Amino acid sequence: MQCFSFLRDRKKGKKEQQNPRARSGAASTATTSSSNYGTSRSYDSTGGKRTSKSSASSSSQPSISAMFAEKAAVLRVFELDELRSATNAFSRNLKIGEGGFGTVYKGFIRSVDGKGDRITVAVKTLKRRSMQGHKQWLAEVQFLGVLEHPNLVKLIGYCCEDGDRGIERLLVYEYMPNKSLEHHLFGRISSAIPWNVRLKIALGAAEGLAYLHEGLELQVIYRDFKASNVLLDSDFNPKLSDFGLAREGPEGDRTHVSTTVVGTHGYAAPDYIETGHLTTKSDVWSFGVVLYELLTGRRALDENRPTSEQRLLEWVKQFPIESKRFNMVMDPRLRYQYSLKAAREVAKLANGCLSKLAKERPKMSQVVEVLRQVVQISESGAAPREIQREEN
């Protein structure tokens, strides 16, 4: 079984594109900052399928697979034994995440030339005999082999070879030391993310999505934006991870891509769930959900709360944005250390992203501009006293 069968018909005459092992000398030597890679399970069981493109539309813009065929050599191809050594034989002590795809380990690799200090990485393994995992593995290699942005996690390389127990598929990423946004919002940690850091994370994540939607020759729909997929580097800069469900957007005159509905409950746009019609506005909805999670410190769905509070988007409706009760939605761990004016603007933006009509949702580039203004509002300084006055 070829790991990269989608490249068979491209670049005829270049055998290295049909056999990634031939490219083992090529590698990315960039240093990493680094991550804990949780791999939350989604409710897709098939990996999803894109509709076929017409020959006319496919010639109008490059595809991810065509772009990957040109850029694949920048990825490092690892030997299984090399990654086994890097993770101390996939030691439980180095385990940093687990989910539907498989398990993620912290590892330490040498540079291509073997010089210098070891580089800390995250190594994601595929569950054997998982067809869903294989499709997601291929998608991650293709998309992250092409995409480059400060707010996207960096894929360093991959491994695909026959082992004693079958085909082994692994991915090697830069390591993100501050784990995920989910970990800090909902985990049992002593300190909460400060208000201005939350705005920084929201803005960086929005810039990452705007790049996917509007910064390339083709559209990329992320399709699984959620707090667990927003990883944080040592300075709490956010980077989007886990591109296993990503899809190319519609081409030409098409308004959407028809797919099997996938994603994570609580984050997927209702219009996408009902029709299977996927657009960039599906990501915008998911972003609105995460904005409310940043404001409230609550999960989109939380069965551990009272019934009336389990669905975040329903619960926040009790506290209108312009009312004196609005501050009741704010994460109590912030201890009133935030700008109420800025918080209201974030909630208004979230409501725009959560519009029932997809066409009424803003573009992510517009979201970025609003968040930049919100950061300025917050930094200009609505002090805690403002909140206390409205509360009384």
Residue 260 corresponds to which tokens in the numbers above?
């099997």
CB-based burial of residue 81 (10 Å sphere; 0-12 exposed, 13-18 middle, 19+ buried)? exposed
Task: Kindly write down the DSSP assignment for every residue of 370-382, as one continuous string.
Answer: HHHHHHHHHHH--
**CA nearest to 357, candidates 299, 279, 292:** 279
CA distance 285 to 271: 10
Q: Choose the catalytic residue: 113, 162, 164, 224.
A: 224
Task: Report the distance separating Cα 315 and Cα 329, nearest Å.
Answer: 9
Q: What single letter denotes the amino acid at residue 353?
A: C
Tell me if 226 is assigned to a ligand binding site.
Answer: no
Query: Known catalytic residue: 224?
Result: yes
Phi-psi region of 299 (alpha: psi -120 to 50; beta: other; left: phi over 0): beta
Closest among 94, 83, 104 to 39, alpha carbons compared? 104
Q: How many residues does the chain have?
A: 392
Cβ pair 111, 29 in contact under 8 A: yes
* Cα–Cα distances in angstroms (integers) from residue 247 to residues 67, 149, 151, 255, 262, in the given order: 14, 17, 18, 14, 11
Q: In this structure, what is the dihedral angle of CA atoms 223, 224, 225, 229, given to the nearest 10 degrees?
A: -140
Q: How buried is residue 321: exposed, middle or buried, by Cβ count under 10 Å (0-12/13-18/19+)?
A: middle
The stretches of the chain forming alpha helices (DSSP H) are 55-58, 64-71, 80-86, 131-146, 181-186, 195-214, 270-275, 280-296, 312-315, 340-353, 364-380, 384-391
Residues tagged in the binding site annotation for ATP: 124
Active site residues: 224
Residues tagged in the binding site annotation: 124
